[in-house]
DNA sequence: CAAGAGATCATCT
DNA sequence: GATGATCTCTTGA
């Protein structure tokens, strides 16, 4: 299976978000963070694969739902940087969120990974709580260690591989994003994408 | 079932 | 000082 290169993320955020559906998020046992993750807990020393089944796009400086709409700050500066870089932020006092930066440098955008489906047999029995953005980071052991690191290399123990299938438009459900009621007209943008019928999707 | 509250703290004003 | 790209538990119909 091929690892997705940096160029994959250097494109229209809404398109990249949909192209990520069906791709595989792969994590090495233990990763490089200090948090115990699913692969580490399993102790088989094999990689763990998760199919990406739900994402949200945060697109550009005007998107009122995006951190970037407030201008560049220390936290969101990753979003203004190069594509293919991991953006992890901490929220609600307890949750980490996993994003992948898209588009060229200086255009602030990212894709939030909202739900994944466990694929590797060695994680199916423990990774049954991956249907939500904060739940999956906990299972995968993703924390701020990964913030600012590239996801187009195996070097840091977290990467994305191409999917087995390319989803047709009719297989992708487009819906409004979750938890962004404050975002004015941007709250109605259907920038959440998920695989129709997949039971790991966080909200139907 | 649906709705509401509490947890808990980094980040921004 | 206020709030959140969430989750889990409790309450009540």
Nucleotide minimizing C1' to CA distance for residue A56: C5
Q: What is the pLDDT, as a whole number, of residue A34?
A: 46
Q: How far apart are CA A69 and CA A72, in angstroms?
A: 8
- A1 falls within a domain: no
Query: A21 CB contacts (<8 Å, ≥6 apart)?
Result: A52, A53, A54, A55, A163, A167, A172, A193, A194, A195
Angle at A122 between CA A131 and CA A101, to 5 degrees: 45
Q: What is the pLDDT, as a whole number, of residue A166?
A: 83
- Do residues A143 and A137 make contact, with C-beta atoms less than 8 angstroms apart? yes
- A127 falls within a domain: yes
Q: What is the pLDDT, as a whole number, of residue A194?
A: 98
Q: How far apart are CA A46 and CA A85, in angstroms?
A: 24
Q: Tell me the CA–C1' distance in angstroms for A185 and B7.
A: 30
- A203 falls within a domain: no
Per-residue flag: A4 CB under 7 A of strand C: no
- A204 falls within a domain: no
Query: A19 CB contacts (<8 Å, ≥6 apart)?
Result: A8
Q: What is the pLDDT, as a whole number, of residue A164?
A: 86
Kind plus residue range of the DSSP H or E element containing A122: helix A121-124
- A202 falls within a domain: no
Question: Per CA to C1' distance, which residue is closest to B6?
Answer: A92
Which bases along strand C come within 7 Å of a protein CB atom?
Answer: 3-8
Q: What is the pLDDT, as a whole number, of residue A42?
A: 46
As for how many domains chain A has, the answer is 1
Which bases along strand B come within 7 Å of a protein CB atom?
Answer: 7-13
Angle at A40 between CA A38 and CA A44, to 5 degrees: 105
- A179 falls within a domain: yes
- Domain hosting A159: range is 6-195
Q: Tell me the CA–C1' distance in angstroms for A16 and B8.
A: 34
Per-residue flag: A178 CB under 7 A of strand C: yes
Nucleotide minimizing C1' to CA distance for residue A94: B8
Q: pLDDT tens per residue, chain A (204 residues)?
A: 799 999 999 999 999 999 999 999 999 976 545 455 555 544 456 789 999 999 999 999 999 999 999 999 999 999 999 999 999 999 999 999 999 999 999 999 999 999 999 998 777 666 668 999 999 999 999 999 999 999 999 999 999 999 988 889 999 999 999 999 999 999 999 999 999 999 999 998
Per-residue flag: A186 CB under 7 A of strand B: no
Kind plus residue range of the DSSP H or E element containing A135: helix A133-140
Q: What is the pLDDT, as a whole number, of residue A80?
A: 98
- CATH number of the domain where residue A22 is located: 3.10.300.10
Neighbouring C-alpha atoms within 13 Å toward the C-beta of A167: 27
- Do residues A139 and A38 make contact, with C-beta atoms less than 8 angstroms apart? yes
Q: Tell me the CA–C1' distance in angstroms for A70 and B7.
A: 27
- A145 falls within a domain: yes
- Do residues A102 and A109 make contact, with C-beta atoms less than 8 angstroms apart? yes
């Amino acid at each position: 299976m091929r690892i997705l290169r940096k160029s994959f993320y250097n494109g229209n955020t809404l398109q990249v978000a949909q192209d990520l559906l069906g791709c595989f998020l792969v994590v090495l046992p233990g990763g490089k963070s200090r948090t115990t993750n699913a692969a580490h807990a399993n102790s088989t020393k094999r990689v763990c694969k998760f199919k990406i089944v739900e994402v949200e796009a945060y697109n550009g400086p005007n998107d009122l739902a995006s951190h970037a709409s407030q201008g560049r700050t220390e936290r969101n500066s990753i979003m203004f940087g190069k594509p293919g870089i991991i953006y992890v932020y901490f929220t609600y006092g307890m949750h980490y969120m996993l994003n992948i930066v898209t588009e060229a440098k200086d255009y602030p955008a990212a894709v939030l990974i909202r739900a994944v489906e466990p694929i590797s047999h060695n994680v199916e029995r423990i990774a049954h709580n991956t249907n939500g953005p904060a739940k999956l980071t906990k299972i995968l052991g993703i924390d701020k260690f990964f913030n600012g690191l590239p996801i187009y290399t195996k070097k840091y123990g977290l990467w994305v591989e191409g999917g087995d299938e390319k989803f047709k438009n009719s297989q992708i459900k487009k819906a409004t994003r979750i938890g962004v009621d404050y975002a004015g007209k941007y709250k109605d943008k259907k920038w959440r994408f998920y695989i129709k019928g997949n039971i790991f999707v966080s909200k139907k």
